[in-house]
Amino acid sequence: MPRFRLTIEYDGGPFVGWQRQANGRSVQGAIEEAVFGVTGARVTIRGAGRTDAGVHALGQVAHLDLTRDWPGDRLADALNAHLRPAPIAILRAEAVAGDFDARRSALRRHYRYRIVNRRAPLALDAGRAWRVGRPLDAEAMHAAAQRLVGTHDFTTFRSTDCQARSPLKTLDRLDVARYGEEIVIEASARSFLHNQIRSFAGSLELVGEGKWSASMLSAALDARDRRFCGPVAPPDGLYLLRVDYPERLSPSGRS
């Protein structure tokens, strides 16, 4: 069975999240329906990350198996035609080795969280960023964020609904930078806990406001207690940017 890797962009606003659920429309379900429309086959696609309701993606990755081979560009075009008008786009469809697994093969996941730091409401970015009207110190946020980089027990920044076996994770990168009125938080790790980045963003916002110091953020981490976390930032500002894989599992060139 030919296996294909899909690179996917979507606006998470209208969906209950990536994962298929009984309580509403999911990104996964919409793509599976498009696959059925194109091929007549019911398949299950596997994604690299289970983004929550309202969370967006610029480079989600999924894989699926089909009964026959397809040119990658034709498959992507056909799926996009069936996905309209849903805010989902298949950016690329590429043939990959049979042992490629979008979730298990991933080496690193990269996320971005966007804060628009201004008093005026959002017109163009409504639903796609978190507006914070109070002035924020992005340099203080970045300095504090470095306290979280490395291998830690992240219980404080983990949803009570998280199903991960262990709260121990290695955070490779957590950078904060200001670009005009926008503050961008970027995080990289092999994997993340449920709500981990939104929990980081909400706590770092308190640092930016001057309500928390870097030492207070460290104390919250060391507490290993969810009650010490700052408010969880809204999903609107969170984006799955891209996913890294071993070079040997890169597309085979039949795209």
Catalytic residue among 52, 69, 175, 225: 52
Domains by residue range for the chain, with CATH: 3-105 (3.30.70.580), 108-241 (3.30.70.660)
Residue 89, Cβ neighbours under 10 Å: how many? 16
| pTM for the predicted model, two decimal places | 0.94
Task: Give yes or no for residue 252 having a pLDDT over 50.
Answer: yes
Active site residue 52: yes
What confidence tens digit (pLDDT) does each residue in 18-46 have?
Answer: 999 888 999 999 999 999 999 999 999 99
Sign of the C-alpha dihedral, residues 108, 237, 10, 160?
positive
Among the listed residues 49, 34, 75, the one whose alpha carbon sits nearest the alpha carbon of residue 196: 49
The whole-angstrom separation of Cα 50 and Cα 194 is: 9
What confidence tens digit (pLDDT) does each residue in 88-136 have?
Answer: 999 999 999 999 999 999 999 999 999 999 999 999 999 999 999 999 9
Rg (CA), the chain: 19
What is the token pair recorded at 182? 């926008």
